[in-house]
Chain A
Amino acid sequence: MIVAVIWSEVPGSALAGRLELTDGDATLWGRERSGDERTASFSCHDLIDVRIERFGPSRLGGRPTLILEHRSGRLFGISPIDSVGVLGELAERFSLQSKLLPA
């Protein structure tokens, strides 16, 4: 599954790009407003928390945002662009893949 997203590694600036989720692996690619490109990838098994933040400073692009907490301590915020209902679907997938939710 490939989704158009705004994402950031918290704390950090927002990037526009994509999230690719295949089997248990997630790859993020994006470009900042400055033009810098960045990628990040991790295995879903290494996530220790998956949640949606609807309010507050974690919102990316003024939208509810999926927050993924990696066991290394890294924190990712992901917010899908222009696709109604995808946020919930992503949250479910990450939870299942990370075994935080029983399948």
Chain B
Amino acid sequence: MDVEPPSCPTIMASAEGDGGVVSRRTLKRRPRTLYAQLVGVAATPAARLQALVEAGMSLTSELSLDAVLGRLIQTAAELTGAKYAALGVIDASHTKLERFVTHGVEESTHAMIGSLPTGRGILGLLINDARPIRLHDLTEDPHSVGFPAHHPEMRSFLGVPVMLRGTNYGNLYLSEKEDGSDFSEEDQELVTLLAGQAAIAIENARLYEASTRWSRRLETLNEVGNALATETDIALLLDLIVRRLRELLSAKLVTLSLPHGADEIRIAAAAGEGSEGLIGNVHLLDETKSGRVFQRRRSERVDSLVDDPEVTVEGTRRLGLHAGIWVPMIAHDRTIGIISAADKLTAVDHRFSDDDLRLAETFASRAATAVDISERVARDILRRVVDAQETERRRLARELHDETGQALTSILLGLKSLEETVATSPEAELAVAGLRELVVATLQDVRRLAVELRPKALDDFGLVAALERLTDTYSGQTGITVDFEAALPDDRFPPEIETTLYRMVQEALTNVVKHARARRVSILLTQRPNSVAAVIEDDGTGFDPTEPGDGFGLTAMRERVNMVGGTLTIETGQGTGTTIVVEVPIR
């Protein structure tokens, strides 16, 4: 054996991962003491044992896995007198080599051989059957698949599995014992001991990688949490949530759905492949996996979408998805939405891990809080705007009714007495009569305007009285028959509730004239212990509620109902008439 350390050996690893190539510097740092032990005395069992112990100690003090492996195979080669050494690390799926570190093969030779072994032939045998192999001539073994071009000649061979607690992490191979003899039983034992050390190092490195990966994810999560906390525009917030979660999980597609009415959900944000055209889609809760997870309030991981009976086959096929996770967004014990992610791009089988699911859960809970806050802020702003608008309308209506109306009434009285005094001239009589007509029409318009702005009856006599008047005027004007029935034990409700329900019926009735071509409308007010509901049903054309229109009415209705913590449900379809149910809690 050489007395000099090998001149700058080159270690190559698999192309996977960024820690593939170990610099020469790393290897030069190896302890001189080992060489001192080996020089001249390598053959004695005691010296070998000591070298082994020292190798073990130096191995465990290294953190970089590639450096550890490089050190290990070099020691193995030196202790056994092998010309070549290599170590293949099996990937987590236990089917192929994740990295391959060599000793004794020149860099130029490596370049000529090209791609690293894939684990076929004898190397494959070692992967599949984790037992030591000693061969006199590698090339003569029936499992051999031959060497690639430019591969150095190798005959004698020793391969041992790198095992720890029954887990096979890889294999250590040695070849070409320098004195031309075969590898001995003793070599095998010694290398097996070294391989045990290597297994610990590999396991440590993997644990370390896993924990740093997790802490990196937590850092990102924190950053996202801060970004979420500062975004109050709900649409931007939802978009931020799906985009960031998609990055965190390396998912192909992430969607976020929010409840829509009492028994539907609507995709409110989506990011990734195929996300275009998903936003705005409405589904019944019982119709989709998202809806079901929303109801169950428990997150789920599905490794094979096609085998899950709750997953809709059509969407999955169209988007070419394989695996997914579903996580409910819960804030203050209220399920405010559901996030789903499909296909992990960095996983061969597209599956998400338990870590991914936990990460998504943590993320979803932060996102839920952010959405909850932003919804509250939005509701609060809306409530103030709506309050201000109603107050303004009330003032204007009163002004019109009381001031302008009174003034016009006085003018009318004045004209009447004028009519009596100037009755002498027919022209004057005609002129005064004309003026009187004008004033009467104006008075009519002013009163109607006041009612349209905000009926005084709503404040003075309550919802039922105001709706009776509204429906009377409505059917008088339109010729549409209105059946109005109020089955309410209480006769008054909080002003906000009365105003909301009044405006809902008002908008629904306007929609009926505009869109439904209906002949009949029925309006029913009912009361439950904690809520009051209005059901407005017409016998008109109906419509497709998933079709986005230009109108703002239904959206405004929904927002206004949400503002008071209520729900709005629309039951309709082409040719089936329309039923709108508005239910609001009475606190």
A49 within 8 A of B: no
Interface string of A44-58 (1 = CB under 8 A from B): 000000000011000
Q: For window 14-69 of chain A, which residues contact chain B by CB distance below 8 Å?
A: 16-18, 29, 31-33, 35, 37, 54-55, 59, 61-64
- B441:A16 contact, CB within 8 angstroms: no
- B477:A16 contact, CB within 8 angstroms: yes
Considering only CB atoms, which chain A residue lies closest to B513 in the complex? A4
- B445:A63 contact, CB within 8 angstroms: yes
* Closest-CB distance, B20 to chain A (whole angstroms): 64
- B441:A81 contact, CB within 8 angstroms: no
Q: How far, in whole Å, are A32 and B78 apart by their CA atoms in the complex?
A: 105
Q: How far, in whole Å, are A63 and B444 apart by their CA atoms in the complex?
A: 8
A89 within 8 A of B: no
- B479:A82 contact, CB within 8 angstroms: no
- A16:B513 contact, CB within 8 angstroms: yes
B91 within 8 A of A: no
Interface string of B501-532 (1 = CB under 8 A from A): 00000100110011101010000000000000
Knowing A16-B477, A35-B519, A59-B441, say if A81 contacts B513 (CB, 8 Å).
Answer: yes
B438 within 8 A of A: yes
- A18:B513 contact, CB within 8 angstroms: yes
Considering only CB atoms, which chain A residue lies closest to B470 in the complex? A82
Q: How far, in whole Å, are A29 and B517 apart by their CA atoms in the complex?
A: 9
Q: For window 70-92 of chain A, which residues contact chain B by CB distance below 8 Å?
A: 81-84
A96 within 8 A of B: no
B17 within 8 A of A: no
B486 within 8 A of A: no
* Closest-CB distance, A102 to chain B (whole angstroms): 27
B515 CB contact (under 8 Å) in A16, A18, A61, A64: A18
Q: How far, in whole Å, are A59 and B478 apart by their CA atoms in the complex?
A: 15
B452 CB contact (under 8 Å) in A35, A59, A61, A82: A82
Knowing A4-B510, A16-B513, say if A84 contacts B479 (CB, 8 Å).
Answer: no
Q: How far, in whole Å, are A37 and B506 apart by their CA atoms in the complex?
A: 24
- A84:B513 contact, CB within 8 angstroms: no
The tally of CB-CB contacts under 8 A between chains A and B is 55
Q: How far, in whole Å, are A31 and B520 apart by their CA atoms in the complex?
A: 13
B479: chain A residues at CB < 8 Å are: 16, 31-33
- A2:B514 contact, CB within 8 angstroms: yes
Knowing A32-B479, A35-B519, A81-B478, say if A55 contacts B438 (CB, 8 Å).
Answer: yes
Considering only CB atoms, which chain A residue lies closest to B444 in the complex? A62
- B477:A55 contact, CB within 8 angstroms: no
A83: chain B residues at CB < 8 Å are: 452, 510
Q: How far, in whole Å, are A41 and B517 apart by their CA atoms in the complex?
A: 18
Considering only CB atoms, which chain B residue lies closest to A33 in the complex? B479
A64: chain B residues at CB < 8 Å are: 445
Q: How far, in whole Å, are A59 and B445 apart by their CA atoms in the complex?
A: 11
B506: chain A residues at CB < 8 Å are: 82
B442: chain A residues at CB < 8 Å are: 54
Interface string of B417-448 (1 = CB under 8 A from A): 00000000000000000000110011011001
Q: In the complex, which of the residues A17, A59, A82 has the most CB atoms of chain B within 10 Å of its own CB atom?
A: A82
* Closest-CB distance, B502 to chain A (whole angstroms): 12
Q: In the complex, which of the residues A54, A59, A63, A81 has the most CB atoms of chain B within 10 Å of its own CB atom?
A: A81
A3 within 8 A of B: yes
Q: How far, in whole Å, are A6 and B514 apart by their CA atoms in the complex?
A: 11
B315 within 8 A of A: no
B551 within 8 A of A: yes
Q: How far, in whole Å, are A62 and B449 apart by their CA atoms in the complex?
A: 12
B453 CB contact (under 8 Å) in A6, A59, A84: A84
* Closest-CB distance, A12 to chain B (whole angstroms): 15
Interface string of B456-497 (1 = CB under 8 A from A): 000000000000000000100111100000000000000000
- A84:B437 contact, CB within 8 angstroms: no
Q: In the complex, which of the residues A35, A37, A55 has the most CB atoms of chain B within 10 Å of its own CB atom?
A: A55
Q: For window 96-122 of chain B, which residues contact chain A by CB distance below 8 Å?
A: none
Q: How far, in whole Å, are A2 and B442 apart by their CA atoms in the complex?
A: 27
Knowing A55-B438, A82-B452, say if A61 contacts B513 (CB, 8 Å).
Answer: no
| Given A3-B514, A4-B513, 11 further pairs, Cβ under 8 A | A2-B515, A4-B510, A16-B479, A18-B513, A18-B514, A37-B517, A59-B441, A81-B478, A81-B510, A81-B513, A82-B474
Chain B residues packing against A (C-beta within 8 Å): 437-438, 441-442, 444-445, 448-449, 452-453, 474, 477-480, 506, 509-510, 513-515, 517, 519, 551
Report the 3 A-B pairs with minimum CB-CB distance, sorted nearest first.
A16-B478, A4-B513, A33-B479
A-B residue pairs in contact (CB < 8 Å), sample of 28: A4-B513, A4-B514, A16-B477, A16-B480, A16-B513, A17-B513, A17-B517, A29-B517, A35-B519, A37-B517, A54-B441, A54-B442, A54-B445, A55-B437, A55-B438, A62-B444, A62-B448, A63-B445, A63-B448, A64-B445, A81-B478, A82-B452, A82-B474, A82-B506, A82-B510, A83-B452, A84-B452, A84-B453
